[in-house]
Amino acid sequence: MTTNWNMRDSFIIRGLYAITPDMADLNTLIQKTQSAIEGGAFMVQYRSKIHDHDVKIQQCAAILRLCREYEIPCIVNDDVDMCRILEADGVHLGEKDDNIAEVRRILGEDAIIGSSCYDQLERAKRAQKEGASYVAFGAMYPTSTKPNAPRATIGLLREAKPQIQIPIVAIGGITVNNAHDVIETGIDAIAVINSLYESNSIKETAETLSQMFH
């Protein structure tokens, strides 16, 4: 795994974590993602559930180039092979994806490996033990991205904080209006898709969400 942004040692998982939506037009996707980065997103995850492999490679490579320009990490949703081929900075794994320890062996010690833990604290503890870089709980609120996703609670975040030593990310239905309740639990970051990419001013929304951590 190639380290491609400066000051890797000082990189921390904190603040607004942007996740791309399914979007056919690459130029629009790039423009919106650039606005999110300029508004303060510290990391971008390329995520697509509808495109074929060639389109995913093209889009992810473009997002990765953008992230390199701004010297922030770019990770890939689910696809370890695409991460390895493009030399992205890591991967986010779901319930049915590869074993974290095996992915760590494939991608290397520097790779950022996230793990979806839904509403399961024990899963987060296992992910931590297996070498995950961060764990993600959610959906926190109803979300059109995953309408049937298990719902995590504010109470779960509070319970997890003293038991999980790696960064904790909250995801799912988070907006400017409800982010404060999530952030005040002491978690490290919020992952946002729809309320960021569908906002009238992506940069301003990103700035607002990022500033809630200060």
Catalytic machinery residues: 47, 116, 146
Percentages helix, strand, coil for the chain, rounded to the nearest 5?
40, 15, 45
d(CA 75, CA 67): 10
> How many of the other CB atoms lie within 10 Å of CB of 208?
16
By the 8 A CB rule, do 210 and 40 touch? yes
Q: CA-to-CA distance for 22 and 180, rounded, in angstroms?
A: 26
Strand partners, 42: none
Cα separation, 90 vs 103, in Å, equals 10
Name the residue among 203, 197, 170 with its Cα closest to residue 46: 197
Contact (CB, 8 A) for 15 and 187: no
Q: Is 40 helix (H, G, I), strand (E, B) or coil?
A: coil
Rounded to 5 degrees, what are φ and ψ at 66?
-60, -45
CA–CA distance, 130 with 153 (Å, rounded to integer): 24
